[in-house]
Chains A and B, each alone.
Chain A
């Protein structure tokens, strides 16, 4: 496993001014996945964008963890629906041009 791709939570805690317990709560609720390397708790860099979004929702909109969980699930659902909608539009366009 490439350790360079993992970011220590202690670093993120300083950068975004959040308590370490916040990350643990997110981990418990299943919003992030914490991994441990050499006794350092980390997250994969791919999950950073998501984590930043969660922190913004928490700080700027004052959402609690349960609220964030609901929002993240709904956003995921919107994403899926958007993809389906775009695919349907493409197919419809093809048949409309065809006729």
Chain B
């Protein structure tokens, strides 16, 4: 657990006024607020740090404790105990000093913060009755491309809670699906946050996905390219017979309608499969083959 310099986090001097703290906090909050930095984990982390710094420095009692024990946070409790004991001797019974009541209701603070101020209760600062929506939780789900070819159900564990999800066919890589109300608890009775699941789709197939379309290349034997013929080729979910036209050039593209990827949330609708032919020149020719090619070459001098 490392010591956190909250002054440094807010970019202010140790003797900054309450007004300067407020100003610095607001400026950084505007910069790193999750709503203005969508899908930016670094900004989210920074926002938490800034909030934590503000929670400590904007409250005079917290700031005093932090300034006194900050670097010696490990011994803070001992200092407090010793101080309280001293006060007990000096004051009449029942007149003890008020310590920290714990942490903050907005919770998600660093270990350093929790160790100094505890967790779970209130900071002592009277929060206004304004309700805040709970924090959004971000989760990642890693799937293979084959997994999202068909709609399927999967259980996801988020903070110890099992959530059964229906993952619709056609989910895209990096697509974010929002599950409303499965995020953090609201503050002051505000609504719960949402759970945002980002899908990371790994593609280890020979097909490239371009939205709902699939792209692939097929090696075409020279003689089929020249003379035409039938070929069995792989599609994503099976095989089809293709008729290759005579004199097909390398890099010719053909489209197989409806043989692409399922369209997200449009049941029964599929994209197209685009096939690029790569004509394969035979290697290791026999003398007889070479002779025949030479004869062909003579018929069509370049």
Which A residues between 1 and 31 are near B, CB-CB below 8 angstroms?
Answer: 15-17
List residues of chain A with CB within 8 A of the CB of B130: 17, 59
A:50-99 near B, CB below 8 Å: 52-53, 56-57, 59-63, 71, 75, 78-79, 82, 86-87, 90-91, 93-94, 98
**A86 x B210 contact (CB < 8 A):** no
Decide if A53 touches B35 in the complex (CB within 8 Å).
Answer: yes
Question: Which residues 202-223 in B have Cβ within 8 Å of A in the complex?
Answer: 208-211, 215, 217
- The answer to whether B133 and A56 have CB atoms under 8 Å apart is yes
Q: Which of B171-228 contact A (CB under 8 A)?
A: 173-174, 178, 191, 194, 208-211, 215, 217
A39: B residues at CB distance < 8 A: none
Cβ A62 vs Cβ B26 within 8 A: yes
Chain A hits for B215, CB < 8 A: 94
Report the minimal beta-carbon distance from B130 to chain A, rounded to whole angstroms: 6
- The smallest C-beta distance from B150 to any residue of chain A, in angstroms, reads 22
Q: Are A86 and B191 in contact (CB under 8 A)?
A: no
Q: Which residues of B contact A82 (CB under 8 A)?
A: 39
Distance in angstroms between the alpha carbons of A75 and B132 in the assembled complex: 22
Report which residue of A61, A75, A98 has the largest number of chain B beta carbons within 10 angstroms of its beta carbon: A61
Q: How far is the CB of B126 from chain A (nearest CB, A)?
A: 17
Q: Are B36 and A71 in contact (CB under 8 A)?
A: yes
A interface residues, how many (CB within 8 angstroms):
25
* Known A-B contacts A56-B35, A86-B173, A86-B174; A61 and B30 likewise in contact (beta carbons under 8 Å): yes
Report the minimal beta-carbon distance from B271 to chain A, rounded to whole angstroms: 14
Cβ of A98 and Cβ of B217 under 8 Å apart? yes
B131 within 8 A of A: yes
CA distance A58 to B186 in the complex (A): 17
In the bound assembly, the distance between CA atoms of A74 and B104 in angstroms comes to 33
Q: Report the separation of the CA atoms of residues A98 and B217 in the bound assembly, to the nearest whole angstrom.
A: 9
B174 contact set on A, CB distance < 8 A: 86
Cα separation A59 to B29 with both chains bound (whole Å): 12
B38 interface contact, C-beta 8 A = yes
- Given A15-B191, A17-B131, the answer on whether A60 and B210 have CB atoms closer than 8 Å is no
B225 to chain A, nearest CB (A): 19
Chain A residue numbers with a CB within 8 Å of B209 are 90
Alpha-carbon distance A96/B36, docked complex (angstroms): 33
B26-50 CB contact bits vs A (8 Å, 1 = yes)? 1001100101101100000000000
Q: Which residue of B lies closest to A93 (CB)?
A: B208
Distance between A63 CB and nearest chain B CB, rounded to angstroms: 8
Query: B29 to A60, Cβ gap below 8 A?
Result: yes
Q: Which residues of B contact A94 (CB under 8 A)?
A: 208, 215
Contact sample, A vs B, 25 pairs, CB 8 Å cutoff: A15-B191, A16-B131, A17-B130, A49-B194, A52-B133, A52-B191, A53-B35, A57-B36, A59-B130, A59-B132, A60-B29, A60-B33, A60-B132, A61-B29, A61-B33, A61-B36, A75-B36, A75-B38, A78-B38, A82-B39, A90-B173, A90-B210, A91-B210, A93-B208, A98-B217
Closest 5 CB pairs of A and B: A94-B208, A61-B30, A53-B35, A56-B35, A61-B33
Q: 11 extra interchain contacts, Cβ-Cβ under 8 A, other than A60-B132, A61-B36? A: A15-B191, A49-B194, A52-B133, A52-B191, A56-B35, A56-B132, A56-B133, A62-B26, A87-B211, A90-B209, A91-B210
